Chains A and B, each alone.
Chain A
Amino acid sequence: MNISLDPWVWISALLSLAIFSFLYKDNPFYKFAEHVFVGAANGYAVTFYWHNILVPSLFDPLFRQGKLIYILSLIIGVLYFTRFIPRLSWLVRIPIGITIGYYTGASIPATIQANIIKQIQGTILTKENFLAWHAGNTGILWSIILFIGVLCTLSYFYFSKEHKGLLKISSRIGIIFIMVGFGAAFGYTVMARVSLLIGRLQYLLGPWLGIIK
């Protein structure tokens, strides 16, 4: 056992324990640590935005180098604050409109290509997809299962027609696939949370208490 003498290690260890104390019940130690975390994270972000973005990308070019075109960016940015002045609050639509326009224009083609077209191509029964499963001879089988699974799952979400006859059968099969998906997602979520717990305990037992390497 080799307890750390570094005050920063002690601070982070004690704050970790304060956060863990919520597992027993809500308490002032937890609240204190939570507020410190939120404050530190925001303070860090604001400082970083000021020194690394606003100053070098806007204020320096505009006020020091005299690039007047940057005044447009400044005005558009400042319009966000009109949200707090009821008489002028309608002006906030301008920067919001520009932002939404930029992101929508950029993301629609990319999303359709990457998330829809490529995924549909990946579902179609082709030789390339059979090989993509890395399952050897059973790649064909898994591709067929995927194909059926996608169709049946989609049929479950088809609400314009009563689930009777063939649609009832396919939607029931779809539910099985949905359940398998939820099960996998839940399993992975558990793994992620336990991993985070392990990470924190590794820190407490390692750098702080010096029990493990």
Chain B
Amino acid sequence: MNLVDLMLKIDRRIIYLVLAVVVILPLIIPSVQHVRVMPPVEKLYNAVDTIPVDKVLMIDFDYDPQTQPELEPMALAILRHAFKKRIKVLALSLYVQPLGLAKAALDQVVGEFNAEAKSRADSIIYGRDYIFLGWQPPPLVPILGMGESITNVYKKDYYGNQTDTLPLMKRVKNYNQVGLLICISSGDPPLWWVGYAQNRFGLKVGVGCTAVSASDYYPYLQTGQFSGLMVGMKGAAEYEELVETRLAIYKHRKASTALPSLTYAHLVMMIFIIIGNIGYFIKRRKK
């Protein structure tokens, strides 16, 4: 086999091996990569930052283990932002699978804040500062129903408490008291929130999505239907950057530490694409 044939028929296992090496090495030997914050993420950050004190932030956790690496860092960064600014949080999920991950994210961030709290007033207290509403199927029913009454849709929270007995729910009736909804999702839910909750009840919607969904969602940012957009691991790293630089929260930045691997993996793929194309053109010229 000559060189041109070799360029055209690189064994996929060699490509996987090279890809594994360039992904693993930057994780073991970390390098600093500057994170440049782009307008869509900054817009989302500002939307969270400017939630009025009498309103709450609603977070729809719709990621499952398959998309956890991209979306979980977003959830953690948003929760850190909200709790640092003492913004009240209502968490929920439109699917079953994300429930455990949502609880883990809430527990982690609440634990971080409470470990540094000096008094009960400083602490993040369940029922007072945040509530995990849980899950109610099918998705359309809670989205539409919460426009009328949140406690009617979620009579009990994730832990089995009567929601109307929780202090925070005394002043949160429906979407009128929700300053912003952020949907962290790997599928269509952001469009459902826009279609059913925004059109009908005027709810502001921000989105954190996987990179695969990005090209579908950018038009909604441009029209103003989304109040901000975070895309994939890069978007999560940008939000982490904002949380660190503007709020001085210095926690482990999972998405940011992955960026060098992401960069090198892209370079490797581009190199392989170029090699394949060069081989193709040389072969075609020979014919």
Residues in A lying within 8 Å of B, measured CB to CB: 23-24, 41, 44-45, 48-49, 52-53, 103, 106-107, 109-111, 113-115, 118-119, 121-122, 129, 132-134, 146, 181, 184-185, 188-192, 194-202, 205, 211-213
> A194–B69 Cα gap in the complex (Å)?
10
> A29–B259 Cα gap in the complex (Å)?
31
> A106–B274 Cα gap in the complex (Å)?
48
**CB-based contact A133/B222 at 8 Å:** yes
- Within 8 Å by CB of A114, from B140, B215, B225, lies B225
Identity of the chain A residue whose Cβ is nearest the Cβ of B233 in the assembled complex: A195
- Which of B78-86, B106-114, B193-201, B238-246 forms contacts with chain A? B193-201
**CB-based contact A122/B261 at 8 Å:** no
B232 at the interface (CB under 8 A from A): yes
**CB-based contact B70/A192 at 8 Å:** yes
Task: Give the interface SS of chain B, mostly helix, strand, loop or mixed.
Answer: helix
**CB-based contact B199/A191 at 8 Å:** no
**CB-based contact B96/A195 at 8 Å:** no
- Within 8 Å by CB of A191, from B12, B66, B67, B234, lies B234
Contacts of A212 in B (CB 8 A): 27-28, 30
Interface residues in B219-233 (C-beta closer than 8 Å to A)? 219, 222-225, 231-233
**CB-based contact B266/A194 at 8 Å:** yes
**CB-based contact A119/B219 at 8 Å:** yes
A-B contact pairs, 7 of them (CB 8 A): A44-B96, A49-B96, A146-B222, A189-B211, A191-B233, A192-B212, A198-B23
Contacts of A110 in B (CB 8 A): 195-196, 199-200
Contacts of B212 in A (CB 8 A): 188-189, 192
- Within 8 Å by CB of B211, from A48, A52, A195, lies A195
- Within 8 Å by CB of A196, from B66, B214, B231, lies B66
**CB-based contact B27/A205 at 8 Å:** yes
Contacts of B196 in A (CB 8 A): 106, 110
Contacts of B13 in A (CB 8 A): 23-24
Identity of the chain B residue whose Cβ is nearest the Cβ of A190 in the assembled complex: B269
**CB-based contact A202/B195 at 8 Å:** no
What distance in Å separates the Cβ of A99 from its nearest Cβ neighbour in chain B? Answer: 9
Given contacts A115-B195, A119-B223, A132-B222, contact A192 B23 (CB under 8 A): no
> A10–B137 Cα gap in the complex (Å)?
34
Given contacts A188-B232, A192-B211, contact A198 B223 (CB under 8 A): no
**CB-based contact A114/B198 at 8 Å:** yes
**CB-based contact A106/B266 at 8 Å:** no
- Within 8 Å by CB of B68, from A129, A199, A201, lies A199
Given contacts A45-B97, A121-B223, A205-B24, 7 further A-B contacts (CB under 8 A): A48-B96, A111-B195, A118-B225, A132-B224, A134-B43, A195-B232, A212-B30
Identity of the chain A residue whose Cβ is nearest the Cβ of B254 in the assembled complex: A202
Identity of the chain B residue whose Cβ is nearest the Cβ of A52 in the assembled complex: B135
